[in-house]
Amino acid sequence: MKNRLTLYLLLFPLILHAQILKNPIPDKLVVLTFDDAPASQYSVVAPLLQEYDFGGTFFVCEFQPNYADSALYMNWRQIQELDRMGFEVANHTHTHANVSKLSQAEFNKQLSYIEDKCDSLGIPKLTNFAYPGYGLNSQALEFLEAKDYVFARAGGSRAYDPLSDHPYLIPSWATDETNKAEILSAFDQAKDGKIVILTIHGVPDIEHPWVNTPPELFKEYLEYLKVNEFTVISMKELEEYIDVDEAKRLHKPDFSKKLSN
């Protein structure tokens, strides 16, 4: 009995590996995500990503109260254009709401507003979500499950390990103008089955200077990723590697891990 248990414990990582991974996670895999729909994501970020042939996910919302100001935020035609350029458009709630404080009906309304808007513009069904302000709780995970969302991204400043992190508690690093050294050392952690995910706001971010990424710094990151031969993809493309249903079945959500920045 003891031997069988030992054998099981030895094999357990292999079993997990076989069930959760459809394909092995290559080293140097990075996911770029962009939050809040600031105008510079259309004018600066998208053309640069195209130039480098990198993928990316744009978590859009109508950031209150100034989303209608086109100097500050993208309009819906620009978001539609991101989809046409081949980028992923994903859900960040209608009003940038802290979803840990919402009832299921309120959460669904927040999600549906963005889903319907995208649907009316011919953008494919949204499958991924990012928690505004990293506000989350176990109830929010249940609501996402009921709506069939695939991945949900949080913060935490650590790498994503598909063999231990729940698909609704995906960690990421957030860039700002002060943490270049931290981000560059984060890229080193994209190995041994772990994936590095960045959360980027405006490039630059006029309305939220504490999450500002200067365009020169953003270009430096892209250049670093290119020169060092990283693979840079959207959240959606993670499905090529991860069997999300199996991951959800095998991982219990662990809220004791760091999930905000």
Binding site for Zn ion (CB under 5 A): 35-36, 132
For the CB of residue 96, give the shortest distance to Zn ion in the complex, in Å: 6
For residues 132 and 171, which CB has a smaller minimum distance to Zn ion in the complex?
132
For residues 25 and 33, which CB has a smaller minimum distance to Zn ion in the complex?
33
For the CB of residue 92, give the shortest distance to Zn ion in the complex, in Å: 6
For residues 26 and 133, which CB has a smaller minimum distance to Zn ion in the complex?
133
For the CB of residue 88, give the shortest distance to Zn ion in the complex, in Å: 16
**Residue-wise DSSP of the chain:** -HHHHHHHHHHHHHHHHHHHBSSPPPSSEEEEEEES-BTHIIIIIHHHHHHHT---EEEE---TTTTT-TTTB--HHHHHHHHHTTPEEEE--SS---GGG--HHHHHHHHHHHHHHHHHTT-----EEE-GGG---HHHHHHHHHTT--EEEEEESS-B-TTTS-TTSEEEEEP-TT-HHHHHHHHTT--TT-BEEEEE--TT-SS-GGG---HHHHHHHHHHHHHTT-EEE-SGGGGGTB-HHHHHHHPPP-TTS----
For residues 117 and 251, which CB has a smaller minimum distance to Zn ion in the complex?
117
- C-beta nearest to Zn ion: residue: 35
For the CB of residue 208, give the shortest distance to Zn ion in the complex, in Å: 9
For residues 56 and 132, which CB has a smaller minimum distance to Zn ion in the complex?
132
For residues 90 and 232, which CB has a smaller minimum distance to Zn ion in the complex?
90
For the CB of residue 35, give the shortest distance to Zn ion in the complex, in Å: 4
For the CB of residue 201, give the shortest distance to Zn ion in the complex, in Å: 7
CA dist list (Å): 235 to 9, 36, 64, 189, 241: 31, 16, 25, 18, 11
